Copies of this chain bind each other. A is one copy, B any other.
């Protein structure tokens, strides 16, 4: 059996997230189905670097699965894409060692959260950002976000999830940038808690619109209490950009 690693992109709008759920359209089910059609009913089990929630997009999700297919990797990419719907694409395929596990071996992931604060939402990008009714001060958001860099207990930025061992994570990169009416918040970390990036985004939006002072982010972090942080920003602004192994 080969162990194959795929890098894929998807528009999360019409998916109930990554993980297979009965009666729902999920990316995992869609990908496994495409591979099955291609290899002649071989059932594979795609193991992703992490589950993405309903409505969340991916530019560089990574999965691995075991398969008996004899296809060369470049042929496999074209063949899988031919069996996938238009809202999922495979960018690359590679043979990896038998022990490679896209979930356990991911050492860092980069997420991007995109916000639009222009007056008029673009009909073309409406699926790929959240709309803010307030103008945001990006310099202020960037300063406020600095305290999140490094190793902390991020319990204030986590939606409760059963049996989570620890909410200590290390943020290795955090940046807030603007281009025109679009603001993006990049967060790279060794791991993410449930809804962590969306809670960070909701918090920084509150700072950027002038509702909270920039010192508030440090207070929230120290409180280790989800109730202190801003709301969970909508899924449609979130992209899984890159996974590092």
Residues of A near any B CB (own CB < 8 A): 9-11, 57, 77-78, 81, 86-91, 119-124, 126, 128
Contact = CB atoms under 8 A, between A and B. Distances in A.
Nearest to A10: B123
From A78, A88, A90, A126, name the one whose CB has the most chain B CB atoms within 10 angstroms: A126
Contact of A78 (B87, B119, B122): B119
Contacts of A121: 81, 86, 89
A123 B86 contact: yes
A217 B162 CA distance: 66
A81 B207 CA distance: 27
Contacts of A87: 123, 126
6 contacts: A9-B124, A10-B123, A86-B126, A89-B122, A89-B123, A91-B120
Interface of A is mostly: mixed
B90 A120 contact: yes
A119 B88 contact: no
A120 B79 CA distance: 11
A126 B91 CA distance: 15
The 7 closest A-B pairs by CB, nearest first: A11-B123, A86-B126, A87-B123, A89-B120, A89-B123, A9-B123, A10-B123
Contact of A119 (B77, B119, B124, B126): B77
A58 to B, nearest CB: 9
A48 to B, nearest CB: 16
B120 A77 contact: yes
Nearest to A87: B123
Contacts of A124: 9, 11, 57, 128
Nearest to A86: B126
A124 B125 CA distance: 9
Nearest to A9: B123
